[in-house]
Structure 1
């Protein structure tokens, strides 16, 4: 009997665990739970005797992956997978997958909510603005960005996008594609960032790009903090006192924001994009089904390592 571990420092909702359990029960797999653990050794011990694991934001570094002597697959229930050491997984012949799109609507709604919060002056009672008629720039065009587009269009916004790899897909649904990242930032009243924290995207929101932001614009980041060059953003906000930064990620320079930019930023206490009951359930069920399909059908559609 195959053994599957759900290792979640932040557990799935009970209803999600129940439905995940049914998927594995039907497949004839044994499910083990490790929830709210506080010591890494607990995780090291738990992975030692399982062939598959479902995780959320849990760190699967080289030590953990080496400890999983029987591990064949790890599925990150969510889109981002920077918490998994892909090189170490590949070296151990472990397939790593994510569950793209399962939490996209949740993150998109948060991005729109943060933009509204910024426009309404943090709900402070000061006169604010409206979304309708403003231009929203999408930095990236993955699952989340496409949901942001859907919502923004319904609100009467003009939407443009910058993407290197999905220009045809964007144009096919009526989106205007900016000729460059600088062009996107220059033309947008609100920029919403939707790129992964890897490769060319690391610190891609730099002075070269930020200098094109209009004073009074809003930058929304529900991606990863690593895509922002924080010193450059701080400098930009010093030079343009109308810019606001809204994120569900607390930056490394939080103290500097608090000192210099009161009323011009908001950070959620913890990463909140996928923290809805619906996203929690969808990602968990997708992860479970992907594990079953991997073992029973050889399906590795959502593999992110090679």
Structure 2
């Protein structure tokens, strides 16, 4: 009998756990639950003899992966998977998957909400602005960005995008693709960032790009803080006092923001993009189905450590 661990410091909703468990029980698998654990040793003990694991923001580093002697697959219920050591997983012949698209609408709605929060001066009583008629620039064009486009278009916005790898897909649905990242930032009233924290995207939002922003524009980041060059962001916000930064994650230089830019930033207390009941359920069910398909059919469609 396959043993499946659901390891979640931030637990799934009870209804999600129930439905996830039903998928495994139907397949004849045993489900083990580790929620809200406080010590890493609890995770190390729990992973020792399981065949698969579903995780959220939980850290599966070298120590944890090596402890999972029987592990064959780890599925991150969500899009990002920088909390898993892919190199060690590959060395241990462990397949790592994510569940792309399952949280996309939730994150997209947050991105739009953060943009509105910035435009309306965080509802402080100061006169603000409206989304309609403004230009929204999508930095990246994955699942979340496509949902942002859908919502923004319904709000009467003009939407443009910069993407290296999805130009045809963007053009096919009527999006104007800019020639460069610099051009995207130059033409946008609001920039929404949707790129992963790896490779060429690390610190890609640098001064060379940010200097093209209009004074008064808004940067919305629901991706990862690692894609931002934080000293460069501080520099451009100093040079252009109308720029605002609305983020679903707190930068390392939070204290500097509080000192220099009051009223011009907002950071969620903890990453909130996927924190909806619907996303919670969708990602969990997808993760469970992927594990069953992996064991029963050899399906590795969503493997990220190839």
Is the TM value for this pair above 0.5? yes
> 1:56: Cα distance to partner?
0.1
Q: Secondary structure at the match of 2:160?
A: strand
What aligned pairs does 1:20-59 form with structure 2 within 5 A after superposition? 20-59=20-59
Query: 2-side partners of 1:220 and 1:259: how far apart?
Result: 20
CA distance in 1, matches of 2:18, 2:213: 47
- 1-structure distance, mates of 2:208, 2:304: 30
Give the distance between the partners of 2:194 and 2:177, measured in 1 at CA. 15
Question: 2-side partners of 1:121 and 1:71: how far apart?
Answer: 49
Residue 152 of structure 1 aligns with which residue? 152
Q: What is the aligned partner in structure 2 of residue 66 from structure 1?
A: 66
Is 1:277 aligned with 2:274? Answer: no
RMSD: 0.3
Which residue pairs with 1:185 in the alignment?
Answer: 185
Matched, 1:109 2:109: yes
Shift of 1:74: 0.1
Partner SS, residue 219 of structure 1:
strand
Report the Cα offset of residue 213 of structure 1. Answer: 0.5
Between the two proteins, the alignment pairs up a number of residues equal to 306
Structure 1 unaligned blocks of 5 or more: none
TM-score (norm 2): 1.00
Cα distance in 1 between the residues matched to 2:34 and 2:25: 18
Partners of 1:232 and 1:142 in 2: how far apart? Answer: 25
Q: How many angstroms does 1:45 deviate by?
A: 0.5
Tell me which residue corresponds to 2:199: 199
**CA–CA separation in structure 1 for the residues paired with 2:21 and 2:82:** 26
Q: Distance in 2 between matches of 1:298 and 1:42?
A: 30
**1:139 counterpart = 2:135:** no
**Residue aligning to 2:226:** 226
**What is the deviation of 1:274?**
0.2
Corresponding residue of 1:164: 164
Offset, 1:59? 0.2
Distance 2:275 2:178 in 1: 31
Paired residue for 1:210?
Answer: 210
Instruction: State the partner residue of 2:17.
Output: 17
Q: Corresponding residue for 1:119?
A: 119
1:93-136 CA deviation, whole Å, 9 max, x = no partner? 00000000000000000000000000000110100000000000
List structure 1 segments (4+ residues) > 4 angstroms apart after TM superposition.
Answer: none
User: Partners of 1:213 and 1:74 in 2: how far apart?
Assistant: 40
In structure 1, what is the Cα distance between the partners aligned to 2:122 and 2:252?
A: 22
Tell me, what secondary structure is at the counterpart of 1:7?
A: strand
Q: Give runs of aligned pairs for residues 289-304 of structure 1, distance below 5 A.
A: 289-304=289-304
Per the alignment, in what secondary structure is the counterpart of residue 90 of structure 1?
helix
Shift of 1:162: 0.1
2:90 alignment counterpart:
90
Residues in 2 aligned to 1:33 and 1:39: alpha-carbon distance in whole angstroms: 15
**Unaligned 5+ residue runs, structure 2?**
none
In 1, the alpha carbon distance for the partners of 2:202 and 2:39 equals 30
CA distance in 1, matches of 2:161, 2:39: 43
Task: Tell me the distance in 2 between the aligned counterparts of 1:212 and 1:76.
Answer: 36
Q: What do the CA deviations read for 1:191-217 (whole angstroms, capped 9, x no partner)?
A: 000000000000000000000010000
Deviations 1:175-197 (A, max 9, x none): 00000000000000000000000
Give the alignment's TM-score, normalised by structure 1: 1.00
